A and B are shown apart, each in its own frame.
Chain A
Amino acid sequence: MILLQSPSRFLLQILQDRVLSGDKGVDIDCHTVEFDDVRYHIQFSMRNPKVMVLSVALPLPPPEAMLYDGLPLGAIEAIKAAYGPVVQILDPPKDGFDLTMKINLTKLPPDEEQRNAVLTQIASVREVVLGAPLKLLLKHLASKTVAPNVDKLVALVHRPNESFFVAPQADKVTLVYPMRFQDSIDIVLATSFLQEFVEARRTSALNNAPSCLWSPVPPLELKGVPSDALNANAVVFPRHVEGKKLDKTVWSLLTFHAYVSYHVKCSEGFMHTRMRRRVETLIQALDRAKSDAEKLKKLVNGGSFKRLSLKNDGN
């Protein structure tokens, strides 16, 4: 509820339905759009009911982010490592998309638990592709080295025409998120959300969490990059990327912006709930203040329905 889940619910649902449904196939041709403008196009054909063609379009990259053949660094290798023989990458990708994969459902492992794990992994294709370069950097952090031939400041795309910045060092990685909100209310809420975020980090229970800061001016690392937004910083240490924690850390860092905007929307909703409750109590107070005569008046003259009966007719 509080965090955004990594696997796409819709993809997972389609995959699971298809695996369970047996051999009968129906044509499916649908598209969905996720936050940050990641688009999916899902196709099943009648002829090959167990083969899914999945095309993914990534957010439009800003000029400073580096892409290789339209994909982030190391994405192809990451896909191959994550899915193995189940997935085959089609080259060139479908028109308008950055990546097209052929997923062969007959090659899934027979064991149900393993199969579900692979399906979930396929549904998290976004994390695998977009998170690949970040994962690479953080892996080096786990072994306390800096990846060779990497700049001091790496820009990674996470939203259409927006990127966040990673400054890798041997013992820590600093991430900087420039955030731009359109709405003035959103800016205020996001600011206080980030304040709370920093505040919460100070409580004893979260001592080991990555330390974070925010400021309206860009930090020193970003010198030379034009920026006009709220900036949130997070510093990741090797202990955050040990073993299994790596995937989770990558996903959380990758979707930090979406996470903040999700909670900004949530808090607006909860504020409305509070406001509604308040109005209700005020109306109740007003009702109580009405004199008895007023209440009676309303009851008697309430409607135009006059109860007629035979007796009244006679008079």
Chain B
Amino acid sequence: MDAASRPAVVIDNGTGYTKMGFAGNVEPCFITPTVVAVNDTFAGQTRANTTKGNWMAQHSAGVMADLDFFIGEDALARSRSSNTYNLSYPIHNGQVENWDTMERFWQQCIFNYLRCDPEDHYFLLTESPLTPPETREYTGEIMFETFNVPGLYIACQPVLALAAGYTTTKCEMTGVVVDVGDGATHIVPVADGYVIGSSIRSIPITGKDVTQFIQQLLKERGEHIPPEESFDVARRVKEMYCYTCSDIVKEFNKHDREPNKYIKHWSGIKPKTGAKYTCDIGYERFLGPEIFFHPEIYNNDFTTPLHVVIDKCIQSSPIDTRRALYKVCVIKMPSYDSKYHSGSEFHFIGQNIVLSGGSTMFKDFHRRLQRDLKKIVDARVLASNARLGGDAKAQPIEVNVVSHPIQRYAVWFGGSVLASTAEFYEACHTKAEYEEYGASICRTNPVFKGMY
């Protein structure tokens, strides 16, 4: 049986969570934190003091330590319960930092989670648009050398996020992906499946900044929250009570007129003394998400609102793609980013993680973004019409901002859709090609358009 007749393995390694599964499925088989717990006790010792007698013992202990590691939730549990394990987060801001642990992570994903033989399946991996080609080469080297995969395709995350929209809206692979991520927010224009690299914009405002802003607001108002808990409380407040408003002044008025309706209460227990405390949650409910639209209320270094950055990004793209880019603007806001993941700590509320709460803040987010973006575009069209003086009228420009219902694994889903098409197997780099030309073939990955 040929590897191409089996479903491809799709692994989306994100900074916070890794999504893995088989192409053709609707959901990934596993969503697990991208973290490895390594037993480092023997790392430096094998060569250091080699007194003859115990060399063999040390050697085999070192070999055992190689196999002594855990990934995902197991890793977190282990590191909590014992001191021998060190947590290592192989991916930082979308880039692989530690190849040793990354390789081990993949090894466990393949053999222990998916339980498949890597020689039997084609692989689709993902990368951020800012990944340098050397990283791709390295990835290819590990995949082909260590795991002997028959074929590999490294796809760009925003392109996959666009591909995930196939089922909901029939569209070309053209659009802007607004990726509110872990460490940074990227705005990535994609035309026909190609990322327009020169127009990628990053802004330093993320979900974590929303949390920090709420924390700051609570502190300034003098709410009695124990300092060691305040970040955590702010995060929970963001998940449970935040929403996007349409007009900030009106929203202030609403709150002042009917405080009972809008002000929420938070109650908790101080971890040290065990005493109960409560605090009010008022304006920060809508001020939190507002920092994307009015960054000046949060910090003075960066004051360009999100919709202006998106507009600039589209304006800097090739002129023939702009109209299409305004038409499809996809927000990719991993809900776990706000929900389970803050800094380097993971929080789990029970075993069953249901999508709720975290998304309320973003319920109207895309509407607000669409409105603000439209305002800029309409003003520009009006201005140009006025300048031309009525001889030629510009066609109105359609502005659409959409958000996927499956935020949590939109990228994975896009990968699953693309990898289940027949074109995928042709677009892959094969093992034979790798052996012929070397790792450099992985530097570029041909764009293919999938089903449409």
Find chain B residues with CB under 8 A from A71 CB. Answer: none
A interface majority secondary structure:
helix
Nearest CB of A to B27, in Å: 7
Contact assessment for A33 and B29 in the assembled complex, using a CB-CB cutoff below 8 Å: no
0/1 string, A115-159, CB within 8 A of B gives 1: 000000000000000000000000000000000000000000000
A215 at the interface (CB under 8 A from B): no
A4 at the interface (CB under 8 A from B): yes
0/1 string, B328-355, CB within 8 A of A gives 1: 0000000000000000000000011000
Query: Roughly how many angstroms separate A134 CA and B21 CA in the complex, as a whole number?
Result: 31
A239 at the interface (CB under 8 A from B): no
- Select from chain A the residue with minimum beta-carbon distance to B70: A1
Query: Roughly how many angstroms separate A36 CA and B26 CA in the complex, as a whole number?
Result: 24
Nearest CB of A to B402, in Å: 23
A35 at the interface (CB under 8 A from B): yes
Nearest CB of A to B97, in Å: 13
A32 at the interface (CB under 8 A from B): yes
Nearest CB of A to B121, in Å: 7
Chain-A contact segment, one of B100-108, B250-258, B444-452: B100-108
Query: Roughly how many angstroms separate A262 CA and B66 CA in the complex, as a whole number?
Result: 14
A217 at the interface (CB under 8 A from B): no
Query: Roughly how many angstroms separate A102 CA and B407 CA in the complex, as a whole number?
Result: 33
Find chain A residues with CB under 8 A from B111 CB. Answer: 4, 35, 262, 265
Chain-A contact segment, one of B141-149, B263-271, B377-385: B141-149
Query: Roughly how many angstroms separate A266 CA and B25 CA in the complex, as a whole number?
Result: 28
Find chain B residues with CB under 8 A from A310 CB. Answer: none
Contact assessment for B22 and A273 in the assembled complex, using a CB-CB cutoff below 8 Å: no
A9 at the interface (CB under 8 A from B): yes
B134 at the interface (CB under 8 A from A): no
Choice from A5, A10, A182, A269 contacting B103 with Cβ under 8 Å: A269
Query: Roughly how many angstroms separate A36 CA and B119 CA in the complex, as a whole number?
Result: 10
Nearest CB of A to B433, in Å: 16
Nearest CB of A to B179, in Å: 27
Contact assessment for B29 and A10 in the assembled complex, using a CB-CB cutoff below 8 Å: yes
Find chain A residues with CB under 8 A from B21 CB. Answer: 32
Interface centre among B6, B27, B67, B68 (most CB of A within 10 A): B67
B158 at the interface (CB under 8 A from A): no
Contact assessment for A31 and B24 in the assembled complex, using a CB-CB cutoff below 8 Å: yes
Within 8 A of B (CB), among A164-182: 182
A272 at the interface (CB under 8 A from B): yes
Find chain B residues with CB under 8 A from A8 CB. Answer: 115
Nearest CB of A to B437, in Å: 18
Nearest CB of B to A139, in Å: 27
Query: Roughly how many angstroms separate A13 CA and B112 CA in the complex, as a whole number?
Result: 13
0/1 string, A249-280, CB within 8 A of B gives 1: 00000000010011001101110110010000
Contact assessment for B22 and A33 in the assembled complex, using a CB-CB cutoff below 8 Å: yes
Query: Roughly how many angstroms separate A276 CA and B66 CA in the complex, as a whole number?
Result: 15
0/1 string, A20-33, CB within 8 A of B gives 1: 11000000011111
Nearest CB of A to B336, in Å: 17
B69 at the interface (CB under 8 A from A): yes
Query: Roughly how many angstroms separate A36 CA and B120 CA in the complex, as a whole number?
Result: 9
Contact assessment for B24 and A265 in the assembled complex, using a CB-CB cutoff below 8 Å: no
Query: Roughly how many angstroms separate A265 CA and B25 CA in the complex, as a whole number?
Result: 27
Chain A residues in the interface with B (C-beta under 8 A): 1-2, 4-5, 8-10, 13, 17, 20-21, 29-37, 60, 160, 182-183, 186, 258, 261-262, 265-266, 268-270, 272-273, 276
The 7 sampled A-B contact pairs (Cβ below 8 Å) are A1-B112, A9-B30, A9-B113, A30-B27, A261-B119, A265-B147, A269-B146
Other A-B pairs beyond A33-B121, A261-B119, 10, CB < 8 Å: A1-B112, A4-B111, A13-B30, A20-B352, A29-B26, A37-B6, A160-B1, A182-B148, A266-B107, A276-B99
